Amino acid sequence: MKNRIDVIAQEESYNNLSSFNDIELMNKTVRKYRDVITASIKRVDVRSRLIALLEILKRHSCKQIGVSYMCKNTIAAKLEVSYKTVQRLMKKLVDLGMIRQVEMKRKKDMLQTANAVIILPIKEEVTNKQPAKKSKKCPTIKTNSSSLKQNINNTKRNKSVKLSSANFIAHWVPKSFAELTSYFYSEAKAIEEFWKVVKQCNRVVDHMNGLRAFTEEQELEIGVQSFKEFVMKIKSGAKMIKGEFAYFNGIVNNLMDKLYFDDAFMSR
């Protein structure tokens, strides 16, 4: 369940969120953070975008020192990147301990508006080290979904039949992804929809050249890994309130957010 937003977007709130007493101290902090990014981020494109984002946040944080409230779409236009890329860059700065985002709501209708982004003061623990990576190991989960159990049992009995259904799937779905998903879904339409989710999540990051965040090979690897996680979630009894494709979309997005800043993966 999403947390309730209690902070109203008004001048008093932004003043209360301000983290610096003077602009020069904020500028000094941003310069320090630029050095940290330069030393710790290996990918040139990510490094330059993180620094550019910091500069935009700094330039629009002078009224309430250290606090900006420009919407992500506007930032994306200024950086000439996609909205999704801005989300990922923001998340990276949060992980590095350089900024904090506070959800806000409009006073006139109490609906959510642009987040307040707070440039955080330098702390001693801010170093050139990358944030600790989460363990990739996951505990063994007992299956409690009767429908998926039935699918797995049917697969063992009808493996050749189910795999042959992949012949009717659209040509633009990679074979390895089609074969994996056909173990659990016999309808071509459902399998194609899962792959559409992967394609849609892989956003364009360079509109001039049409380049996407991930190559086709990386995209396929993410799709396969995400579907395996999706199956495990179902087996563990996960509730998919908005439907299976929306749930799968969340898994793919989370994995892409993580791998976009993984130098080893992106260099493949």
| pLDDT computed for residue 17 by the predictor | 79
Across the range 245-262, mean pLDDT stands at 92
HSE of 190, CA atoms in CB hemisphere, 13 A? 14
Looking at this protein, which amino acid is placed at residue 78?
Answer: K
* Cβ atoms within 10 Å of 14's Cβ, excluding its own: 22
Q: Map residue 152 onto helix, strand or coil.
A: helix
Across the range 116-130, mean pLDDT stands at 66
How far is the C-alpha of 30 from the C-alpha of 51, rounded, in Å?
9
Handedness of CA 152, 158, 161, 163 (dihedral sign): positive
Q: Map residue 39 onto helix, strand or coil.
A: helix
At residue 206, does pLDDT exceed 80?
no
| Tokens encoding 60 | 């629009």
Strand partners, 227: none
What is the gyration radius of the CA atoms in the chain, in angstroms? 22
43-92 tens-digit pLDDT? 888 888 999 999 999 888 877 888 888 888 899 998 888 989 999 999 99
| Tokens encoding 262 | 């993984």
| pLDDT computed for residue 196 by the predictor | 95
Q: How confident is the model at residue 11 (pLDDT cuts 50, 70, 90)?
A: low
How far is the C-alpha of 18 from the C-alpha of 26, rounded, in Å?
11
How far is the C-alpha of 231 from the C-alpha of 184, rounded, in Å?
9
| pLDDT computed for residue 8 by the predictor | 66
Per-chain mean pLDDT for the chain: 79
What share of the chain in percent tops pLDDT 90?
A: 29
Across the range 214-220, mean pLDDT stands at 93
Handedness of CA 215, 90, 70, 200 (dihedral sign): positive
Strand partners, 120: none
